[in-house]
Amino acid sequence: MNGIRAACASIGFTLATVVVGPAALALSAPLGPVGGPVLVIAPPWLDAAAAAEAAGGRIIALREAPLATLAVFGSPDFAPRLRAAGAFAANGLVVAELCGVETDDGNR
């Protein structure tokens, strides 16, 4: 029985590392320059695009994901406004590059 518990604990730890690790890295990364892509993450009961727009953002995502979208913001104080709208921000540069979204400065 202890072997099964150890195996389950190992699998649980591995899953937590795979799922939570990248999210923690994205959320802890600096948001980057004003006008750069921002990954807007929302809880299941909130529309990420609506929260981004309420905080003054412009949606740049080619397609919206269920709990997130890509947006750009014109002022450096968007993060508190985004949190007030119920969402969170993470640096979206890598996600934008992976999704083929071009930013205003022509970067992909």
Both tokens assigned to 85:
């709208």
Q: Please report the pLDDT score of residue 32 as a whole number.
A: 61
- Amino acid (one-letter) located at 85: A
- Cβ proximity of 35 and 56 under 8 Å: no
Q: Is the pLDDT of residue 93 over 60?
A: yes
Angle at 66 between CA 62 and CA 68, to 5 degrees: 65
Q: What is the pLDDT of residues 40-78, one digit of tens each?
A: 989 999 999 999 999 999 998 887 788 888 889 888 888
3-class SS of residue 70: strand
Q: Please report the pLDDT score of residue 10 as a whole number.
A: 47
Average pLDDT rounded to a whole number, residues 77-101: 80
pTM: 0.63
With CA atoms as reference, report the closest residue to 25 among 35, 33, 17: 17
Q: Where are the domains of the chain?
A: 1-30, 31-108
